[in-house]
Chains A and B, each alone.
Chain A
Amino acid sequence: AQSVTQLDSQVPVFEEAPVELRCNYSSSVSVYLFWYVQYPNQGLQLLLKYLSGSTLVESINGFEAEFNKSQTSFHLRKPSVHISDTAEYFCAVSEADGNTPLVFGKGTRLSVIA
């Protein structure tokens, strides 16, 4: 079975500052890794994913995450945040064998301060 730990429940950061949201996972098998974003009163939107290949993955809105197998981590970073990035961010893992369920962390609330 897999598990996900998001080390920070809340991260306040000033606008245009860099941010890192931490995610560690546990699994005995190969995994796929995901970051989802949830805006207030909405469902989850996929931000980025690691399936295989390059360990650095990027989203279209400036976020990136790096898969580190030795540290079992998949931290999310952005060099300069905007007010519109304020949301809840969830790290998730699934077995790398197809249609297995996602296991989510408890989430990190990113609050961008003007």
Chain B
Amino acid sequence: ETGVTQSPTHLIKTRGQQVTLRCSSQSGHNTVSWYQQALGQGPQFIFQYYREEENGRGNFPPRFSGLQFPNYSSELNVNALELDDSALYLCASSGGLHNEQFFGPGTRLTVL
């Protein structure tokens, strides 16, 4: 059984650019959640996808968007990058009864 994987590991972009982050969920999980962890903070919920539909969204602007594919992998897209978007982006998959979420290693995004 493979765990949650994310790519890329690190990414450097400039203000105004667009970025796509990818996540492969754990085998058997149909739900993917994305979190943003700014330096020195706890993770903040961005949105969740369940069976290819958005199933909840946190307090993030529309320039944060996502997709989930039939194999339950997922993408997070961020348009018009701002300096404050610099953070560790974590993906978590779940599929059990009790919402146990398994996290990937994260993608560290730096916006210059």
Judged by a CB distance under 8 angstroms, whether A113 is at the interface is: no
Q: Are B41 and A102 in contact (CB under 8 A)?
A: no
Q: Are B45 and A102 in contact (CB under 8 A)?
A: yes
Judged by a CB distance under 8 angstroms, whether B106 is at the interface is: yes
Which of B11-19, B72-80, B93-101 is the interface stretch? Answer: B93-101
Judged by a CB distance under 8 angstroms, whether B25 is at the interface is: no
Q: Are B98 and A102 in contact (CB under 8 A)?
A: no
For the complex, give the distance between the alpha carbons of A49 and B94 in Å. Answer: 14
For the complex, give the distance between the alpha carbons of A102 and B93 in Å. Answer: 12
Judged by a CB distance under 8 angstroms, whether B28 is at the interface is: no
Q: Are B106 and A43 in contact (CB under 8 A)?
A: yes
Question: Which residue from chain B places its CB closest to the CB of A91 in the assembled complex?
Answer: B42
Smallest beta-carbon distance A50→chain B, Å? 10
Judged by a CB distance under 8 angstroms, whether B48 is at the interface is: yes
Q: How many residues of B contact A (CB 8 A)?
A: 29
For the complex, give the distance between the alpha carbons of A6 and B40 in Å. Answer: 13
A42, A43, A100: the one contacting B99 at CB < 8 Å is A100
Question: Which residue from chain A places its CB closest to the CB of B102 in the assembled complex?
Answer: A46
A32, A45, A51, A104: the one contacting B42 at CB < 8 Å is A104
Residues of B contacting A4 in the complex (Cβ-Cβ under 8 angstroms): 42
Question: Which residue from chain A places its CB closest to the CB of B31 in the assembled complex?
Answer: A99
Question: Which residue from chain B places its CB closest to the CB of A94 in the assembled complex?
Answer: B99
Q: Are A101 and B56 in contact (CB under 8 A)?
A: yes
For the complex, give the distance between the alpha carbons of A106 and B4 in Å. Answer: 23
Judged by a CB distance under 8 angstroms, whether B104 is at the interface is: yes
For the complex, give the distance between the alpha carbons of A32 and B98 in Å. Answer: 8
For the complex, give the distance between the alpha carbons of A46 and B92 in Å. Answer: 11
* Other A-B pairs beyond A101-B45, A102-B43, 17, CB < 8 Å: A4-B42, A43-B4, A43-B6, A43-B103, A43-B104, A44-B43, A49-B98, A49-B100, A90-B43, A98-B97, A98-B99, A99-B48, A102-B45, A104-B42, A104-B44, A107-B40, A107-B42
Interface residues, chain B, with chain A CB atoms under 8 Å away: 4, 6, 31, 33, 35, 40-45, 48, 50, 55-56, 58, 90, 92, 94, 97-106
